[in-house]
Amino acid sequence: MLNHTATHGRVKRVIAACSVAVVATLGMAACSSSGSSGSNDKVGVALIVKTTSNPYFVSMETAAKAAAATAGVNLTLAAGTKDGDTDTQITAIENSISRGDKGILITPNGPAVNNEIAKARKAGLYVIALDTPPDPANTVDITFATDNFAAGEAIGKWTAAKLDGKKAVIAMVDLSATQSISVDYDRDTGFLTGMGIKVPDKKKNGSEAPTGSYTGATGGNYEIVGHQPSGGAEDGGRTAMETLLSKNSNINVVYAINEPAAYGAYQALKAAGKTSGVLLVAIDGGCTGVGYVKDGILGATSQQYPSKMATLGMAAIVKLAKTGKKATTSTGLNFFNTGSQLITDQAVTGLPSIDTTAGSKICWKN
């Protein structure tokens, strides 16, 4: 972690926030030293996403801008330079505190931001996580997110059903190999659980036995070729898949953390002449990803709704500012579940899903 007591370190991060992070403000300058909710009595809110290289988070920003404009909120946007960039997110949190914002909406890039979130809450900011529940969940006031374990479980069940007893030679294209991020291990272990593969530690990628039997659908044998990080990006997905293919060219099941990584994996499979007979599944359900399912690149994806997360998060901060009432979590969960749906044109009996025609109408909205 960075030493946040060093003055020169803080100065460097403030410079980085104004020159490196993707920052924009509705109603005031993003790097102003004055409070954003002071002179014009508007509520100041910061949206800090993982990265704007992923269209998923761009859609979140778009929804937040629209909600801010409707509610008369001074919105500041910031983003990490890449998935996993916690330094830029830490700087953006510090800037939000300095501005005197009422709240922060953040998709945490990892536990390294937890201490800074604690500082923001101590300073009186209402901090909401979007998409990625922090660990522990009470690091923030509330999280609006997909039940990522359930989303992974759905594509795992679909995969087991499509295998119909055939041996599964599985490639796991994860998010990170260096950080423990809930969205990463929840999707990964959810997929394996849906396949019917025992996962001893659901908060750790790779805790399952490398070989054994899966019990999903009719059941069968499996082999995990390996787990490789992709950074949630297309180029990372391609590199991860190339590495896994070098270990075992007989891969017939590919799990990917999201659709950019999945498409990168597909490119590697195509270059190796290995696309035939491979079940490639992912999570996100963006319009592009739904198109991948329609084109047969993906067999299935779990659709989630980032626009809904941002809109609900913005409304929660405004409600708190106006009424003092805080948002509450979904029953039985430590976050507010914004829902997910399995998207496939190859429906299997007993597993709820919608086809690509329906999925394309609500991609990332709902």
pLDDT at 31 over 50: no
| Per-residue model confidence as pLDDT tens digits over 132-158 | 888 899 999 999 999 999 999 999 999
pLDDT at 288 over 80: yes
The lowest-confidence range among 55-64, 206-215, 219-228 is 55-64
Q: Residue 18, Cβ neighbours under 10 Å: how many?
A: 13
Give the DSSP letter of residue 295: T
pLDDT at 254 over 80: yes
Residue 253 near residue 169, CB atoms below 8 Å: yes
Residue 12 has a pLDDT of: 39
Distance between CA atoms of residues 264 and 273, nearest Å: 14
Q: Look over the chain and give the mean of its residue pLDDT values, rounded to a whole number.
A: 89
Residue 366 has a pLDDT of: 66
Give 40's pLDDT tier (boundaries 50, 70, 90).
low
In terms of Cα–Cα distance, which of 218, 126, 122 is closest to 165? Answer: 218
* CATH number for the domain formed by residue range(s) 148-303+340-362: 3.40.50.2300
**Residue 67 buriedness (CB in 10 A; 0-12 / 13-18 / 19+):** buried
The pTM for the full model equals 0.81
CATH architecture of 7-146+306-328: 3-Layer(aba) Sandwich (3.40)
pLDDT more than 70, % of the chain: 89
Which pair of tokens denotes residue 105? 């909406």
Q: Residue 83, Cβ neighbours under 10 Å: how many?
A: 28
pLDDT at 13 over 90: no
Torsion, CA 228, CA 232, CA 233, CA 238, rounded to 10? 20
Residue 47 near residue 76, CB atoms below 8 Å: yes
How far, CA to CA in Å, does 290 sit from each of 110, 181, 260, 301, 360?
28, 25, 12, 8, 6
DSSP string computed for 101-124: -SEEEE--SSGGGHHHHHHHHHTT
Distance between CA atoms of residues 182 and 148, nearest Å: 8
All structural domains of the chain with their residue ranges: 7-146+306-328, 148-303+340-362
Residue 282 near residue 259, CB atoms below 8 Å: yes
Sequence-separated (6 or more) residues with CB below 8 Å from residue 123? 97
